[in-house]
Structure 1
Amino acid sequence: MKNSTITRFALCSLLLSSICANAQKTTLEVDIAKTVTKIQPTMFGLFFEDINFAADGGLYAEMIKNRSFEFDKPLMGWEQPNTKRSSLNMQSGAATPINVSENKTNPNFCRILINDDKGYAIVNEGFRGMGVKKGAKYNLSLKAANPDGSIKKIIFQLIDKDQKVMGETSIIPSSKEWKNYTSQFTAAQTEAKAKLKITFEGTGTIDLDMISLFPEETWKNRKNGLRKDLVQLLYDMKPGFLRFPGGCIVEGRTLSDRYQWKKSVGNVEDRKTMINRWNMEFSHKQTPDYFQSFGLGFYEYFQLSEDIGATPLPILSCGMACQYNTGELAPMEELDPYIQDALDLIEFANGDLNTNWGKLRSDMGHPKSFNLKYIGVGNEQWGPDYIERYKVFEKAIKAKYPKIIIVSGSGPSPDGEHFDYAMKELKKLGAELIDEHYYKSPQWFRENAARYDLYDRKGPKIFAGEYAAQSVSGANPNNRNNWECAFSEAAFMTGLERNAEVVNLTSYAPLMAHEDAWQWTPDMIWFNNLEAYGSANYQVQKLFSTHKGTDLLNITRDGKPLTGQNNLYASAVKDVNTKKVMIKLVNTASTSREITIGLKGSKIETKGSLTTLASAGLQDENTFSEPEKITPKESEYQLKDGKAQISLPPYSVSVLKLKIK
């Protein structure tokens, strides 16, 4: 009896094991010959906003903070460490901001009185320090006026945190009038928190302005250009578009501090510095020294788009300030300047050399058109006021530029009263492309992979313009770029790709964050003054973007798409140019999954490749100490009997790539 019980128990265990094993197996089918729809080249792109010190202190490689003394506090960022204060005078010297009111865009300069040329110095702290690398060259430029000829030399030194000199150069201020000077350093050591120290030979008065320091090595080695390692991370993604300059940065807290593109073009020194709207937005991370120099302006954004092979997608104010702040409205009868800005921007990007704005583009160094195809009206405004203004913009833009595609907005959330109203009204207007935003939990992303399955194929196209899984909650400083967020986004992205008939553009947000000066988390790329890395979310975005394809294919289980059944998600594409099939598979379960994929419609080479992103822990992250903790692993793959059999690791994102014969 005892042996019989043991035997029955063993048989039940074997049967249960067999059932469980079979439950882990999934058979899918892909019809390679049948194209569901064409995939837009813009399917996976980038959204850039000047938040988290992403422009000044980040992508824009300028190392001097407040180079032209135009911050609200003109000497912010500048220290006078050796000044001895008394009730009557500055014994060693003093720096005083001077305002020249007739210069409307750059009215301030710094007048320095040197009483003791051995004891006076002025030091720039950079953007949380300056990152310098041993053996690298750094280009200095400035404007100086030596009115009484008393200052014989100006010495510039890169110093480390212990005041040790790491590089030195000097200039002779030879003119009583304003004159431009240049020189160069070579750094003797690597230092993340360097500063620029300026001392003088002679006593008397010297005037300084536009003190600037750039690495010689920038992206494409452009003078005073962009930070090479950050642009490289963008380039490597092969993005379909670049949306700029935001984001809420477009709107401003008030209309007067909105982003105005015309103030961001022309000579860099003539661009008016403005406070960044994110400087005091969040109590958890206030940054009163966060300003916009606009050295990275609209011309540079268009140029960057061209450099990385991305379609430019500028977003402009629609006459509504941020509704989370003042919500200030430009009256309808005063909307003309805003509309003219949109029309002039199209001329700046595409106009020939006989137009005013086309000529400016050419004079700045780009005679050819930037081939602008899209323009956004407003960021994430909502309500009747937005719809009323959108109508006027649409009418004016289409009247002059009928081929330009206009991006409209559905508000800040993917559902609710504001979203429903915007979608209803924009559909009535026949809107071409509607921008949707989602900052939700990882679970929401997994549960909404089928979000677009029932969207009207004849209705407006969708731009998933801002999305990121929030590990805690929206706008929370404790949000992390953890692996659960990343693979949950991948699950959602299979749904975006499966619905390429409706979804034409998608982008994660925000793009970049400085390790020491961020306001919002999570972010796709993290950097400090010396290094940069792509988060796990970046690796997911890159994997999808570099395996985009030209044609959408059906991938089904029992005739239905895989949208989370048994924690599995899938999409499939082919590239008619490279003759490759690419199948994306996401396993969000804590156990492995055995997948068999039947391939019909075309003959396939038996050899291919399998790329996998995986990590054992939901909280795992890439960091500065482990920047490649979660990174793709590629291996050769062999078909068996014309079928693909794959074991998907727990918590994984995989791409199977096969060649069509």
Structure 2
Amino acid sequence: MMRSKLLGAFILSCILNVHAQEKKTFTIDASHPIADISPNMWGVFFEDINLGADGGIYAELIKNRSFEFADPFMGWKKLGENIGEGAFLVLNRKDKPNNPRFLRVNTNLSAGKVGLRNEGFRGMGVKQGLRYDFSILYKQSTPGITLHVQLVDSLGAIIGESNFRPEKTGVDWQKQQISFQATRTEPKAKFILWFEGKGVLDLDMISLFPEDTWKKRPGGLRADMVQLLADMKPGFIRFPGGCIVEGRDLANRFQWKKTVGPVEDRKLIINRWNTEFKHRLTPDYYQTFGLGFFEYFQLAEDIGAEPLPILNCGMACQFNTAELVPLDELDEYVQDALDLIAFANGDLSTKWGQLRAAMGHPQPFNLKMLGVGNENWGPQYIERLEVFKKALNAHYPEIKIVASSGTDPEGERFEFLNKELRRLQVDFIDEHYYRSPDWFLTHANRYDAYDRQGPKIFAGEYAAHTDRTAGTGNRNNWKAAIAEAAFLTGVERNADVVGMASYAPLFAHVDGWQWTPDLIWVDNLQAYGTPNYQVQKLYATNKGTDVIPIRMENEAVSGQQGVYASAVLDQKINEVIIKVVNHNDYAIDGSFKIQTKGSLAQDVEHVLLAAGLEEENTIQDPNRVSPKIDQVVLQGKTLETQLAPYSFHIFKIKMR
């Protein structure tokens, strides 16, 4: 037995030694670029899933702030020992059809002090020393009630408080705000509003925001989440989804016009992920549209990305109701698309340009692209797309049209749509692939044989799923991320075919997700990028301007012997950038020979992303899988280096 173990160890040692001595020679021709790379190549896809907006990037801490949920008191708990019947009433008003409900508090009907407690979105993340801005809309006939506001920790101890007395009276709604500081950091805080004194007070839009929003905008976005997007330097941001564009039915579809204008006038709807998965029911998931289309455009501008809105084409989700708008009733939907372009780009003489200016942005947003439909399929989609295309081409021929190729990257539906969309000569075909890591590895050459003269491809939603699509077991581990890194070498190599690419979904709350995997995970206080985030960020921040050939044994490097590679030239900074994936459990010696007319700097920046296949980043260890940067030395025009097991490398070589 001992002899067999020794023999096995000897054989394994011999195998490893042979692997360690393996040498791969790569030839990079930097003198002959073969394709331009779109400046918008790598972007981000946003959908309000996994508490991505409310409870996520939208920094509002109060859940159900205007009592518009199906259960008006969802998120709220009444406080007090002797609460009188009718002390808290939810009423409706006709002058605010998009936000009709408000709360009437009548303290005359209770013997003691009464209040309301709000639980927030899986609690509230509160930071010590930070200012918190509380505001309400109110109406009263006679002053009499003082509001005492408190933040309390998970045990009920007060960690911030203040009070104020609404003084204005009359029939009009008034807004009042106070600010106070938190005395302690707490990830699961709650908010309490006490009503002291006697009287009747009507309340709406009960709101609490931290001061440290992105760009310190009142009522704005969560800064750490936006910063992770900005750090990617994305070329575009696609919004608002995703399946929420379609809705489970057309009544619950995303309608952009109901998401602009004053926040208190925007119409809340149930989020379609509320009940989508029985394994992750989320009955408190709604869309308040504090993050609406204006804020999406503003976010795109802030992070230097092109806006890419996607609109409903007259079809509800075909996995749910598959409800259709008859072709002769499609005008409303087409007009929404035309009006959206006017809102984004129209001058101040137009209705929609005036609204944009009233919201604080007189200059156009310079919209260039528009998506018609999300993951729709079949001849019904093509019929409706043709109607949209005719109108958009007639009124705004400069706007590029992005069209859906359905839910899958192959099969009968895909083949039908691919043929029809090419016949229609749309500008971008939106392909989605949620597949296993092995699929990504074996399809790195997917675009090598695509038609170079047809529409560009938008890899609009991609992610390697380690378990199964829409399952709960998918992990954001290195196994998934390195498979994506390998696949993306093929995307980059075919930049003359693929014009844009984005991972999906973007955000997930650790206590409120419905779908895995996701690019960025958050809790109430922190946010971190997954290994998948690190991969796309490295592509986006090292995209270059031109594709250049890289070959191994005179072939494109697309998985032979577990190796994948692409190379680009950045003419703006005169730099060759090589990306290589070693998808083997052993190291490989690599020899990279650079063909160029000029000389090369000898010091080469080397970025390494490597880990065990099961390793992940977490809230507790957010940088476990993250890039390491060092220097390697070029020998003339040859780079000799070792490619670590299961590793993604970037080599940046300056040209003189």
After TM superposition, the score normalised by the length of structure 2 is: 0.96
1:308-351, Cα deviation, whole Å (9 max, x unpaired): 00000000000000000000000000000100011111111111
Q: How far did 1:117 drift?
A: 7.0
Partner of 1:108: 101
> Residue 463 of structure 1: which of 455, 458, 462 is its match?
458
Which residue is 1:605 aligned to?
A: 601
For 1:209, which of 204, 208, 222 is the aligned residue? 204
Q: For the residues of structure 2 that align with 1:39 and 1:47, how far apart are their CA atoms?
A: 19
Structure 1 window deviating more from structure 2 (411-420 vs 204-213): it is 204-213
Counterpart position of 1:477 = 472
Give the Cα separation in 1 of the matches to 2:493 and 2:111. 69
Tell me, in whole angstroms, the C-alpha distance in 2 between the residues paired with 1:353 and 1:145: 34
Distance 1:606 1:431, change over 3 A: same
Cα 1:21–1:109 change in 2 (3 A) is: closer
**Structure 2 runs not aligned, ≥5 long:** 1-10
Find the counterpart in structure 2 of residue 300 from structure 1: 295
Conservation of the 8 A alpha-carbon contact between 1:411 and 1:419? yes
Shift in CA distance, 256/14, structure 1 to aligned 2, threshold 3 Å: closer
**Do 1:31 and 1:600's aligned partners in 2 also have CA atoms closer than 8 Å?**
yes
Kept after mapping to 2: 8 A contact 1:98/1:110: yes
Shift of 1:163: 1.1
Question: Distance between the aligned counterparts of 1:20 and 1:586, measured in 2?
Answer: 16
1:184: which partner in 2?
179
Find out whether 1:637 has 2:635 as its counterpart: no
Q: What is aligned with 2:26?
A: 28
> 5 Å matches for 1:512-531?
512-531=507-526
> Residue 144 of structure 1 aligns to a residue in which SS?
strand
Q: Which of 621, 625, 650 is the equivalent residue of 2:616?
A: 621
User: Segments of 4+ in structure 1 off by > 6 A?
Assistant: 12-18
Partner residue of 1:490? 485
Bigger shift: residues 325-334 or 97-106 = 97-106
Matched, 1:146 2:140: yes
Q: Deviations over 1:13-50 (max 9, x none)?
A: 9998886455x210000011111111001110000000
1:73 aligns with 2:37: no
Alignment partner, residue 506 of structure 2: 511
| Offset at residue 256 of structure 1 (A) | 1.0
SS in 2 for 1:214: strand
Equivalent residues of 1:579, 1:660 under 8 A apart: yes
* Closer, same or farther: CA 112–580 of 1 in aligned 2, 3 Å: same
Q: Secondary structure of 1:605's match?
A: coil
8 Å CA contact 2:82–2:111 kept in 1: the answer is no
User: Which stretch has the larger CA shift, 167-176 or 321-330?
Assistant: 167-176
For the aligned residue pairs, the C-alpha RMSD in angstroms reads: 1.6
Superposed CA deviations along residues 135-154 of structure 1, whole A, max 9, x for unmatched, are 00011110122334332x11
Instruction: Quote the residue 2:373 is aligned against.
Output: 378
Contact in 2 for aligned 1:83/1:94 (Cα 8 Å): no
| 1:193 is the counterpart of 2:191 | no
Contact between 2:608 and 2:627, CA under 8 Å: does it hold in 1?
yes
Q: Which moved more, 1:203-212 or 1:246-255?
A: 203-212
Cα gap change, 1:412 to 1:13, in 2 (>3 Å): closer
Secondary structure in 2 matching 1:569: strand
| Residues 408 and 431, structure 1, Cα contact 8 Å, conserved in 2 | yes
User: What's the TM-score, normalizing by structure 1?
Assistant: 0.95
Cα pair distance change 1:649/1:96, threshold 3 Å: same
| Partner Cα separation in structure 1 for residue 327 and residue 609 of structure 2 | 51
1:10-409 matched pairs, under 5 angstroms = 20-22=19-21, 24-84=22-82, 89-90=84-85, 94-114=87-107, 115-116=109-110, 118-151=112-145, 153-177=146-170, 178-409=173-404
CA distance in 1, matches of 2:15, 2:605: 34
Contact 2:463 2:503 in 1 (8 A): yes
Q: Is the 8 A contact 2:138 2:203 kept in 1?
A: yes
Asked if the contact 1:512/1:523 (under 8 Å) is kept, the reply is yes
Contact 2:19 2:586 (C-alpha < 8 Å) held by counterparts: no
What do the CA deviations read for 1:527-552 (whole angstroms, capped 9, x no partner)?
Answer: 01100000111111111110000011
Q: CA deviation at 1:101?
A: 3.0
Report how far residue 358 of structure 1 moved.
1.2
**Is structure 2 residue 585 aligned with structure 1 residue 567?**
no
Q: What is the rounded CA distance, in whole Å, between the counterparts of 2:202 and 2:12 in structure 1?
A: 87
Mean alpha-carbon deviation: is it higher for 100-109 or for 415-424? Answer: 100-109
In 1: Cα distance, 2:158 partner to 2:112 partner: 16
Tell me the number of residue pairs that the alignment of Structure 1 and Structure 2 aligns: 643
The DSSP-based 3-state class of the residue aligned with 2:40 is: coil
Secondary structure, aligned partner of 2:322: coil
What amino acid does structure 1 have at the position aligned with 2:432?
H
Distance in 2 between residues matched to 1:620 and 1:98, nearest whole Å: 52
CA contact (8 A) 1:116 1:203 kept: no
